[in-house]
Amino acid sequence: MFTTFIVQPIFNLLVFVYAILPGHNFGLALIIFTIIIRFLLWPLVKKQLNQAKVMRKLQPEIKKIKAQTKGSRQKESQLLMELYKERGINPLGTFPILIVQFIVLIGLYSGLRKVISNPHNLISFAYPFLQHLSWMKHLATNIHLFDNTLFSIVDLSRSALGPKGLYIPAMIIVIGSAVAQYFQSKQLMPTTKEQRGLRSILKDASSGKQADQSEVNAAVGKSTRYLLPVMIFFFTVELASALSLYWLVGGIVAYIQQSYVLREDEEQMEEIADKPSKDVDNIPEAEIVDTPTTNKPLKPKNKQNIKRKKR
């Protein structure tokens, strides 16, 4: 079922791009495929980024709630859930995009393994309507025409470290994918001068000081910013460079998407700042009263009104 409903559709999208692409370069087809996947995931990505932005803005309020509850976990959780509900935040809202990305990665990896082990699977694993495309028919008669390189520079079937030793072109892609992941994570985790590191927090905790959970989360996030690129490097360094290319292009596109959403948020904040306050504009002139600076009684302007009041 996983092969039928996950691996085959993902792989056939890649095959379709490859078959209709002028020049039929597999590396270029993989780049275009990655861009298509990232744009198909755009609604989920944008929702994830918006939730991340709101969560960052709520940190001062979360800190106040923690101070008010004074260690009462039940009360703290209740107030936090009310705050999230009020602001329309789902604490688990970031998981769907991560799950979808992981599924796509596994599906692509499984499909690429089939092609690397036997290029004929490019034809046999394709849907029937793709097999009838002119290039696929031509390829079926001469599989040696299959170009599995990136512009004839990088052999995408080889890994950076393999039986043949170090493959520098693939290693460059692997390092590039790790660097792209670093900047992608850094973009969503801004740091402040007051932010402490995880080592400093743990040192204080060992001496009996209670650590603030939001400060711990920020420190863990900062450490993750370095941990993820390292994990990606060691995960992909021995795999076919086609997967590293997918990760590299995906990281670059994700960085651009995040820049767009974050810039959009900054522009909205600037527009709000430029608008005059509605409350000030709606204050009628009659409400503005000059306070007398002397103790002299004010002279009445209309004596008839005073007499009527006395009556």
The per-residue pLDDT for range 162-205, each reduced to its tens digit, is 888 999 999 999 999 999 989 988 877 655 445 555 556 555 55
- The overall average pLDDT reported for the chain is 77
Q: Which residue has the higher pLDDT, 58 or 266?
A: 58
- Given a cut of 70, whether residue 307 has pLDDT beyond it is no
Residue among 158, 184, 163 at smallest CA distance from 236: 158
Q: Region 283-304: what's the mean pLDDT? A: 44
- Given a cut of 50, whether residue 286 has pLDDT beyond it is no
147, β-bridge pairs? 25
Confidence of residue 278 (pLDDT cuts 50, 70, 90): very low
Question: Which parts of the chain fold into alpha helices (H)?
Answer: 2, 8-20, 26-40, 42-57, 59-69, 73-87, 95-117, 121-124, 128-131, 134-141, 168-188, 198-206, 213-236, 241-274, 278-281, 303-310
Q: Which residue has the higher pLDDT, 265 or 17?
A: 17
Q: What's the rounded Cα separation, in Å, for the pair 117 and 183?
A: 34
Residue 150 φ then ψ, to 5° = -105, 100
- Given a cut of 90, whether residue 136 has pLDDT beyond it is yes
Quote the percentage of the chain above a pLDDT of 90.
36
45, β-bridge pairs? none
- Given a cut of 80, whether residue 300 has pLDDT beyond it is no
The model carries a pTM of: 0.71
pLDDT of residue 195: 53
Q: For 165, left (φ over 0), alpha (ψ -120 to 50), or beta?
A: left
Top-ranked range on mean pLDDT: pick from 89-98, 160-169, 293-302: 160-169
Q: Which residue has the higher pLDDT, 94 or 243?
A: 243
Q: Which residue has the higher pLDDT, 222 or 272?
A: 222
Q: Region 146-153: what's the mean pLDDT? A: 92
Domain count, the chain: 1
- Whether 19 maps to a domain, the answer reads yes
Q: Region 118-126: what's the mean pLDDT? A: 92
- Whether 302 maps to a domain, the answer reads no
**Radius of gyration for the alpha carbons in the chain, expressed in angstroms and rounded:** 31
- Whether 283 maps to a domain, the answer reads no
Supply the range of the domain harboring residue 60: 2-274
- Whether 287 maps to a domain, the answer reads no
- Whether 55 maps to a domain, the answer reads yes
- Whether 56 maps to a domain, the answer reads yes
pLDDT of residue 210: 55
- Given a cut of 90, whether residue 123 has pLDDT beyond it is yes
pLDDT of residue 174: 96
Strand pairing category for 161-162 and 165-166: antiparallel
- Given a cut of 60, whether residue 266 has pLDDT beyond it is no
Going by the DSSP 8-state scheme, the letter that residue 142 receives in this structure is -
Q: For 88, left (φ over 0), alpha (ψ -120 to 50), or beta?
A: left
- Whether 224 maps to a domain, the answer reads yes
Confidence of residue 83 (pLDDT cuts 50, 70, 90): confident
Burial letters 147-170, b for 16+ CB under 10 A, else e: bbbbeeebbbbbbbebeeeebeeb
- Whether 305 maps to a domain, the answer reads no
